[in-house]
A and B are shown apart, each in its own frame.
Chain A
């Protein structure tokens, strides 16, 4: 469990980039932080993984303040995927990269080797390949694999799909979804509202270093006040249903649809038509 209690933070000791922020992330949650550039999302993530200390308030990991946790203890509890995998990858081969975390924690050994082997097999990596020669999507998957090989109970993903093409995006997010289904807590900073709508069960919206909304994904993404205050654009189907709800006399199911399947079903009902299974080849 991660708790922020009235947390403020500053990089230079003067200008507050985070202002009295409080929230709790429970074990197994899938939370997306959304907001404009500079809203304080990445700063919040740095406070969670201990890269930054609060100027006031407390950040607690499983009830223990981050200020009293060693870096190695934090690393065991929280895996952090940087936006740019090249800031994370530092070894000459895929195998070395996957072993790096174990080495840093002083936990090399047969169990670590077995977990690395399993990860190589699972992702279909070439163990001897040079990471920098892999394409961007594979480097992102390698960076993700090098975190989850350590089996942290919580992972933080900073813009996990930026720069990835559609297939790579699906591949990365499928792994994340599976991890969450198996109990890993996922905290994601994401600008892609389609990805947020497809995967996150809860959204925390930030603006100017403050939390302006915290709730179930579509409750937040359908709230006009929040959208305006945090300068967020909702996912496209949600936006369509919001427009229809405002401008057209339509059934509630249409005005409340958030996914392609929900909207097709709602429109079919409104037109008194049977609907067949809706297959959507998107991240849906």
Chain B
């Protein structure tokens, strides 16, 4: 369980808090998508989960954030990193090794995982992202998309309870983005891992997330199922948050009195609804 309790944070150099009065409970095993306009405070929320705030970025911290019952202020960054695995937005800043296998080994060795467990963990992590064939490749020979998969695999190898990812598919083509989300969702289901993803690709989030969190100017405006959140698509667009084109289509039909059903959030839903409209 991740719990934000009236959490506000102002970076030391900032004039105003970047997030304010955040109260949110994320149950174990939940797949959470966080989105919002640039500068809305999305990444700050993830920093509060993995402890980068306040341990690396000092500032005024109000309220509390707990992960698995551990207060992120009182728990050391080392101990938090055993609970929370993080994948940065800038993948190159995360890579420390020259070869893919070494990148996976780096975290395992630093966390003192028993030697006999390591080979199986490496195999499992590579397989979970579908990159077993990249094991011996040098990092600098990989495409942006391949690097993103390596970064995720190196974190999954540590078996974190919580996985925090900041725009993990930014450099991926649509098919690979779907693959990564498929793999993340499957991994989360099989291991009971809580996944928190910051992402601009709303169509992808709507399809995979159990909970969609919309952040605007440091405050949570919506935190609910994708269907419930997308029912407010006019407000989302006003906040600078896109909605899936399928949702826009069905809303436009609704505005013309041609559709009166529930909110649609993907292609399959739109096609099914239109078959009924045209029947």
- Cβ-based interface call for B260 (8 A): no
| Contact pattern, B 30-56, Cβ under 8 Å of A = 1, otherwise 0 | 000000111100000000000000000
Contacts of B36 in A (CB 8 A): 165
- Cβ-based interface call for B217 (8 A): no
Are B175 and A231 touching (Cβ within 8 A)? yes
Contacts of A236 in B (CB 8 A): 203, 244-246, 249, 266-267, 270
Are A137 and B258 touching (Cβ within 8 A)? no
Contacts of B228 in A (CB 8 A): none
> Shortest distance in angstroms between A175's beta carbon and chain B's nearest beta carbon?
17
- Which of A35, A239, A267 sits near B278, CB closer than 8 Å? A267
Contacts A37-B145, A162-B171, A260-B252; is A168 near B38 (CB within 8 Å)?
Answer: yes
Contacts of B245 in A (CB 8 A): 194, 235-237, 260, 282
Main secondary structure of the interface of A (DSSP, over half): loop
Are B253 and A264 touching (Cβ within 8 A)? yes
Contacts of B110 in A (CB 8 A): none
Report how far A254 CA is from B277 CA in the complex, Å: 12
- Cβ-based interface call for A178 (8 A): no
Are A166 and B203 touching (Cβ within 8 A)? no
Report how far A165 CA is from B274 CA in the complex, Å: 29
| Contact pattern, A 267-278, Cβ under 8 Å of B = 1, otherwise 0 | 110110101101
Binds A, one of B3-11, B57-65, B67-75, B235-243: B235-243
- Which of B37, B146, B257, B271 sits near A240, CB closer than 8 Å? B271
- Cβ-based interface call for A281 (8 A): yes
- Cβ-based interface call for A243 (8 A): yes
Contacts of A263 in B (CB 8 A): 249, 253
| Contact pattern, B 160-180, Cβ under 8 Å of A = 1, otherwise 0 | 000000010011111111100
11 chain-A/chain-B pairs, Cβ below 8 angstroms = A36-B173, A37-B173, A163-B170, A165-B38, A165-B200, A166-B240, A231-B175, A233-B174, A244-B271, A260-B245, A273-B256
